[in-house]
Structure 1
């Protein structure tokens, strides 16, 4: 599949995966149940190295459980923006331990870049895109450097920018897999119930979508579940799934 299985001792700057590779996998696994697709992919992987990325948000336990049922040794990446709710950090530790993950990797913003671009630690209040670049996008890029594929928990129903979300896509030369792309809220809730998975502690307090503490507010009845994210800003994504959003470069 592309150059994903290239020789380790060769020098090759070509991307591991292309958009055509992702489209081929999309066609290959069309209509296959999520768990069966993941079992098939892990049994005969088209990648050389893969990581699972999780925010440990309100719906993260579903994907974490699905993957843990197959391979608990897969590197599990968490980006600690240093603006995370304490409840999220506690939930991360509880859930990773409960599911038996063996390789939890925590990445943080580069302190030198923070000193240059967010000296007051208030950039979120006037430039949320730039803050996300510094605290999420760049750390994830570092975290994914050794891998040519990664698994994301994105779902199409979560926002207007995700309506046509495929299961497989190319992302900066890597394969990005969205196993839950076609899952809706009812299916996620049912999975929680069947497998008795713990809920994020903030969900019951009115936070159906949990991000960084300064940029996450409670959602009122009838509002979109992501209405509490970056409330008051024309912003729907942190930048991890869309690339850097700020015109101000991340140094």
Structure 2
């Protein structure tokens, strides 16, 4: 009797790093479910992934708007009905970046990069395979050193997701944050909050039956978001993202639970 198919679910899988991750996995024979806000774009991406896939790897497409609760619920329902307990890798990849310090941009960054990522994982988690690995695509721009103290302290000291959500939602127009981080201050706050969420969820097992929650930095990659000026290819970024998955396959999910890595090497929170 043939073994049941094991799937990877990759959010934001229709372009950039998400697409590169899907191609890397399918090229190694892993069946992939990619999510996209636009199903037409998703189907086009799926054809690219199928063209790169090793024989036997399957590719499916599901719709997801990560910042929308109803869309997250539909995704969870689809996973439950079609792939229940057969997804052993979840890559939470969707993200946006702004370069200004405004209430609107801050709220959007928090909703997508932090809230959307965390709540997507929490929605899907009950339907994952036992011991699954959940990888959150973060950034060294989310290291606490990139935050001014008025944001670093409440985020790093949050004891639960409720406290963390409050810290991540607070916009202070008079904060020194834009002077401390001139590149993308709201992106850094949202990714720092995501990093802290990974620590909390890894410690309390919030994503069970998954066996690991890990954060990764792909580096600055040549994608639509990273621009052509970036120093790494999307394929290099994908390899960094998937490093915990490959380690877990050898050493078990517990070996990567609560980790923050780049290219498989542990980095500072």
Give the TM-score of the pair, scaled to structure 2.
Answer: 0.35
Greater strand fraction, Structure 1 or Structure 2: 2
Greater helix fraction, Structure 1 or Structure 2: 2
Give the TM-score of the pair, scaled to structure 1.
Answer: 0.37
Greater relative contact order, per chain length (Cα 8 Å cut-off, separation 6+): 1
